[in-house]
Amino acid sequence: MSGEQELGITESKEYNTGEWYAEVVQKAKLADYAPMGGFIVTRPRGYELWERLQDHLDGWFKETGVTNAYFPLFIPESYLEQEKDIVEGFDPEVAWVTHGGHEELEERLAVRPTSESIITPYISDWVRSHRDLPMRLNQWASVVRWEATETKPFFRTKEFLWQEGHTAHATDEGAWDEVMTRLDQYAQLYEDVLAIPVLRGCKPDHDKFPGADTTTSVEALMPDGKSVQGGTSHHLGQSFAKAYDVTFTDEDEDEQTAYTTSWGLSWRALGALIMTHSDDQGLVLPPALAPEQVVIVPIYNDENKDEVLQYGSEIAAELQEAGVRVHLDDRDERNPGFKFNEWELNGVPVRFEIGGYEVEDEEVTVVHRPDGEEVVEDRADIAEAVDEHLDAVFDKLYAAAEENLVENVRAVEDVNEILGTIGQHGGYVKTPWCGDEACEEAVKEKVHAEIVLVPMDDEDVPEAQLEDGEALELESNECTMCGEPAEEVAYFAKTY
């Protein structure tokens, strides 16, 4: 097999989505499969995407009063058992350590599936007075959940990277403000950095985080019609505070129980990014996360090689000075066509092509990764023009993802129509729901779709959808599945 054949993507995104996704992840050098089933090895390019995502979120967290900490990977079983809902909710997923060396441990240690049960006791120790509140902690870590049967890099693995925030507040209102602040930041990450529009809402009661009063989430629709839970923010009420004795003295010196929250976003966001924007040529990256935002490919012959390379080098230096992540591909052993294909596979947002004509005319040919659009720019204005091109690439990515979302939210009021719509089109089906889990199960059993969210209000649904009265207006006040009075509107979808 030639280098060109090995380099290219051979699977179709439209017809073989799973195989295509795995091929993009491996050939774009984002990750490899580990020798243990359910685990992956994150390669440098893949980890750099996570680091850049991390930088955005971490900055926003710190701007809003969050400090980072780190807690042990192992959690004593007795700590987990203090909150019964955590035990019941995560028990099937927990990996246990029973031996240290050759000796059996006196108490089993859980490999953290989440950290409420190890962080909350320390918040209890550190909070004494209302002056200590709110307390906002975050850790960047990995967790292990022994649930993944089919490994899908970044989407579903037994171990995954994430951040988890844990906070304590004097009032219920303060905790709710915290929940919504983090949910807004997750939406901001998806929409302003990853170029993916999201829906916001609550999980149904039966699908809440174990022990939570309310679980909120952002949901992103993938091109194959499946929904990705992009990040969750939980109002834990006082259940964890009571279990772990998080109390404080108020201004009147009376003892009160705190309200707590937790919120997390994992590298599943990278999976959503890859699945949403990439194509049959390979990875497609938004400018904010791309390791290289611009690649310069010189096109020369023996006569003009030095001149073309000098021209390209000067442009690279100018862009670098302007803060652009730029790479000059001056490899002699690869021809321009190979380089074009390789950098397209790697997802670089913008390519500069520079040959003898560009040098002679003092111009630069600019090519956009998403659609191959070519624009010729004056050399003198290139530092200013590159920002416009990076913005244009972002806008193209967001517009395509938004179109996919808007066109794939459908309102139905007949149970057979739910089954047929999800089976044929995928996407979100919006329908009246009584609140009974059994009505969700009736749909889940037949088309493997579930309720992914219940909108908190109309603002959580993109405006373009609400304008489409014919497609989205619901007339019935009865549950589509059972005919009982509907308490709310539910969004069904297949999920990752």
Closest to 182 measured CA to CA, from 215, 205, 213, 208: 215
Structure tokens belonging to residue 33: 């499969």
At residue 459, the pLDDT reads: 52
At residue 470, the pLDDT reads: 39
Structure tokens belonging to residue 316: 């690279």
Does the structure show a pLDDT above 80 at 463?
no
Instruction: Write the DSSP string, 405-438.
Output: HHTTEEE--SHHHHHHHHHHH-SEEEEEE-S-HH
Structure tokens belonging to residue 324: 């652009």
Distance CA 209, CA 358 (A): 58
pLDDT bracket for residue 148 (50, 70, 90): low
At residue 88, the pLDDT reads: 78
Check residues 300 and 460 and name the one with the higher pLDDT: 300
Instruction: Write the DSSP string, 360-412.
Output: HHTEEEEEETTT--EEEEEGGGHHHHHHHHHHHHHHHHHHHHHHHHHTTEEE-
Q: What pLDDT, in 10s, does the model give residues 352-366?
A: 999 999 999 999 999
Q: What pLDDT, in 10s, does the model give residues 189-238?
A: 999 999 999 999 999 999 999 999 999 999 999 999 999 999 999 999 99
Closest to 438 measured CA to CA, from 225, 203, 218, 204: 204
Does the structure show a pLDDT above 60 at 142?
yes
What's the whole-model pTM score?
Answer: 0.94
Cis peptide before 336 (omega within 30 of 0): no
Residue with tokens 């400090």, as numbered in its chain: 67
Residue with tokens 């919006």, as numbered in its chain: 430
Angle 65-154-47 from CA coordinates, rounded to 5°: 65
Does the structure show a pLDDT above 90 at 85?
no
Distance CA 451, CA 453 (A): 6
At residue 176, the pLDDT reads: 97
Structure tokens belonging to residue 183: 């949910």
Q: What pLDDT, in 10s, does the model give residues 150-169?
A: 789 999 999 999 999 999 99
At residue 259, the pLDDT reads: 98
Does the structure show a pLDDT above 50 at 398?
yes
Pairing of strands 199-202, 214-221: antiparallel
What is the DSSP code (8-state) at residue 92?
G
Distance CA 113, CA 80 (A): 10
Count of Cβ atoms closer than 10 Å to residue 410 Cβ: 20
Distance CA 190, CA 199 (A): 10
At residue 188, the pLDDT reads: 98
First and final CA of the chain: distance in angstroms? 34
Q: What pLDDT, in 10s, does the model give residues 255-308?
A: 999 999 999 999 999 999 999 999 999 999 999 999 999 999 999 999 999 999
Does the structure show a pLDDT above 90 at 464?
no
Residues contacting residue 405 through CB under 8 Å, at least 6 positions apart:
197, 199, 221, 462, 465
Residue 200 phi/psi, 5-degree rounding, is -120, 145
Does the structure show a pLDDT above 70 at 469?
no
Distance CA 386, CA 465 (A): 33
Distance CA 228, CA 128 (A): 40
Distance CA 359, CA 300 (A): 11
Please state the rounded mean pLDDT for residues 38-45.
Answer: 97
Distance CA 427, CA 417 (A): 13
Contact at 8 Å (CB) between 70 and 124?
Answer: no
pLDDT bracket for residue 83 (50, 70, 90): confident
Check residues 92 and 132 and name the one with the higher pLDDT: 132
Does the structure show a pLDDT above 80 at 465?
no
Count of Cβ atoms closer than 10 Å to residue 324 Cβ: 18
Helix (H) or strand (E) holding 297: strand 294-298
Structure tokens belonging to residue 78: 């007795």
Please state the rounded mean pLDDT for residues 361-389.
Answer: 97
pLDDT bracket for residue 147 (50, 70, 90): confident
At residue 458, the pLDDT reads: 53
Contact at 8 Å (CB) between 489 and 454?
Answer: yes
Helices vs strands, H then E, count in the chain = 17, 23
Distance CA 214, CA 201 (A): 10
Rama region for 426: left / alpha / beta (φ>0; ψ in -120 to 50; rest): left
Q: What pLDDT, in 10s, does the model give residues 5-40?
A: 467 999 999 999 999 999 999 999 999 999 999 999
User: Percent of the chain beyond pLDDT 70?
Assistant: 95
